[in-house]
């Protein structure tokens, strides 16, 4: 077994176990953390395919940002697990049955034989030369062949921002903000009022 194979099987095993953890963990925080581990193992496997840009981006975006916010929400919601799991055992046999049938059907339809992959085993992808840069290749394709979908994807993200802000931002009149600019511009006349008055007689 070569080093690559060991790495592949190790990370695949981690990935499968972690993915199982996502759906079977009793605590939603544990589920979310298992999902993080799944992403991490996936990134490692992509690395083996020489897709280092995608792998690192997966870690950067999903592990570093998306899942952090996800955990954030899960921790704040404090989901009641016992309620959610009520009836779990009762439906378990039925669920397993459905899952088995689905799995068998999927294997029949999308098994390797239908893609012509069972002929001589899986051919491993061709290895690239040392100066091959996955990042550069992706960038070139993205900005030439796929520039139109790329731009549309950018617009989708823009719409997501607009939607999120328009749905959540409320200007509350009672909230008070400091405006440092105004604070600095304050002059004596704005705050101080000098009144001339007679000295009071002593009684």
Partner 1 sequence: MIESMMSFVMPIWEWLPMWIQVLVTNVFFIVIIMVPLMLSVAYVTYAERKIIGYMQVRIGPNRVGPRGWLQPIADAVKLMFKEIIIPTNSNRFLFLFAPMLSMGPALAAWAVIPFADNIQLADVNAGLLYILAMTSMGVYGVIIAGWASNSKYAMLGALRSAAQVVAYEIAMGFALVGVLMAGGSLNLGDIIDKQAGGFFNWFWLPLLPLMVVYFISGVAETNRAPFDVAEGESEIVAGFHVDYSGMAFAVFFLAEYANIIMIAALTSLLFFGGWMSPFGSYADVPLLGNGFHWFVIKTMFFIYMFLWIRATFPRYRYDQIMRLGWKVFIPVTIVWIFVEAVMAVMQIGPWAV
Partner 2 sequence: MTLEMLNYAIAWPEIFLLIMASLVLVVDVFLPDEKRNVTYVISQLSLIVTMAMIVMMSSNERIIAFNGVFVNDAFANVLKLFVVGIVAMVFVYSRRYLIERNIFKGEFYVLGLFGLLGMMVMISAHHFLSLYLGLELLSLSLYAMVAFHRDNANASEAAMKYFVLGAIASGMLLYGMSMVYGMTGTLNIEEVAKAISQQQEMNIVLVFGLVFMLIGVAFKLGAVPFHMWIPDVYQGAPTIVTSYIATAPKIAGFAMVMRLLVEGMGGLHADWQLMLVILSVLSMAIGNVVAIAQTNLKRMLAYSTISHVGFIMLGILSANNAGYSAAMFYTLTYALMSLGAFGIIMLLARAGFEADNLSDLKGLNQRSPWFAFMMLILMFSMAGVPPTVGFWAKLAVLKAVIDINMLWLALVAVFFSIIGVFYYLRIIKLMYFDDAEENAPLHNGRDMQVALSANGLAILALGIYPSSLMALCIAVFS
Site for partner 2 in 132-191 (CB under 8 A): 144-149, 151-153, 155-156, 158-160, 162-163, 166-167, 170
**Residues 18/101, Cβ–Cβ less than 8 Å:** no
CA distance 35 to 22: 6
Say whether residue 119 binds partner 2 (CB under 8 A): no
State how far the alpha carbon of 75 is from the alpha carbons of 25, 65, 69, in Å: 15, 16, 10
**Residues 78/106, Cβ–Cβ less than 8 Å:** no
Q: State the residue for tokens 């395919």.
A: 49
Say whether residue 162 binds partner 1 (CB under 8 A): no
N residues, the chain: 203
Binder of partner 1 out of 10, 20, 49, 65 (CB under 8 A): 65
Which secondary-structure segment (H or E) carries 203?
A: none
DSSP state of 169: -
Binder of partner 1 out of 76, 155, 184, 185 (CB under 8 A): 76
Give which of partner 2, partner 1, none residue 15 binds (C-beta under 5 to 8 Å, depending on kind).
none
**Residues 146/139, Cβ–Cβ less than 8 Å:** no
Binder of partner 1 out of 34, 38, 42, 134 (CB under 8 A): 134
Site for partner 1 in 3-32 (CB under 8 A): 3, 6, 27, 29
Say whether residue 70 binds partner 1 (CB under 8 A): no
Give which of partner 1, partner 2, none residue 75 binds (C-beta under 5 to 8 Å, depending on kind).
partner 1
**Residues 15/41, Cβ–Cβ less than 8 Å:** yes
Give which of partner 2, partner 1, none residue 24 binds (C-beta under 5 to 8 Å, depending on kind).
none
Which residues sit at the interface with partner 2, rule CB under 8 A?
A: 109-110, 114-115, 144-149, 151-153, 155-156, 158-160, 162-163, 166-167, 170
């Amino acid at each position: 077994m070569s080093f690559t194979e060991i790495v592949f099987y190790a990370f695949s095993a981690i990935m499968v176990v972690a993915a199982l953890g996502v759906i079977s963990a009793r605590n939603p925080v544990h589920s979310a953390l298992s999902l993080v581990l799944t992403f991490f193992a996936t990134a490692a496997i992509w690395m083996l395919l020489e897709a280092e840009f995608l792998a690192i981006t997966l870690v950067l975006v999903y592990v570093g940002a998306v899942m952090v916010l996800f955990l954030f929400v899960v921790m704040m919601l404090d989901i009641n697990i016992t309620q959610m799991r009520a009836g779990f055992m009762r439906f378990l046999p039925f669920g397993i049955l459905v899952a088995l049938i689905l799995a068998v059907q999927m294997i029949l339809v999308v098994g390797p034989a239908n893609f012509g992959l069972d002929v001589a085993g899986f051919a491993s992808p061709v290895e690239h030369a040392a100066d091959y840069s996955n990042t550069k290749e992706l960038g070139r394709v993205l900005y030439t062949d796929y520039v139109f979908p790329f731009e549309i994807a950018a617009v989708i993200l823009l719409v997501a921002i607009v939607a999120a802000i328009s749905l959540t931002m409320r200007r509350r009149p009672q909230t008070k903000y400091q405006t440092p600019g105004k604070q600095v511009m304050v002059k004596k006349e704005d705050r101080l009022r000098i009144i001339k008055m007679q000295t009071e007689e002593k009684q």
